[in-house]
């Protein structure tokens, strides 16, 4: 389960890396959220589904960046620091 704070932090970080949030959809109960981003010529889709791992689709560079940002957040959270590493 992904907290609203985690999702907001990731969206902020993506915006800081040049992504623009171009769409958001989901179910009323919050069990599925889909965020669409665009950066330069690349697009990215972040799919968060309750009780399942996050899914990321898009160009290789965009996906690799999100994976790295999520990894950094996970490491920081394990050490008690909720902020993203730059």
Task: Kindly report the backbone phi and psi dihedral angles of residue 47, in degrees, each rounded to the nearest multiple of 5, phi listed first.
Answer: -115, 120
Q: How far is it, in rounded angstroms, from Cα 37 to Cα 62?
A: 10
- The pLDDT of residue 37 is 95
Q: Helix (H) and strand (E) counts for the chain?
A: 2, 4
- The pLDDT of residue 77 is 64
- The pLDDT of residue 73 is 73
Say whether pLDDT at 8 is over 90.
Answer: no
- Are 24 and 34 contacting, i.e. CB atoms less than 8 angstroms apart? yes
- Compute the chain's Rg from CA coordinates: 13
pLDDT in tens, 40-62: 888 999 999 988 888 889 999 88
Say whether pLDDT at 82 is over 80.
Answer: no
pTM for this predicted structure: 0.74
Q: How far is it, in rounded angstroms, from Cα 76 to Cα 46?
A: 21
């Amino acid at each position: 389960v992904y907290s609203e704070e985690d999702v907001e932090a990731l969206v902020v970080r993506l915006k800081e890396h040049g992504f623009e949030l171009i769409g958001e959809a989901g179910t009323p109960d919050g069990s599925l959220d889909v965020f669409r981003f665009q950066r330069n010529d690349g697009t990215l889709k972040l799919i968060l589904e309750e009780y399942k791992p996050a899914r990321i689709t898009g160009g290789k560079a965009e996906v690799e960046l999100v994976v790295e940002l999520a990894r950094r957040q996970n490491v920081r959270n394990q050490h008690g620091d909720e902020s993203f590493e730059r």
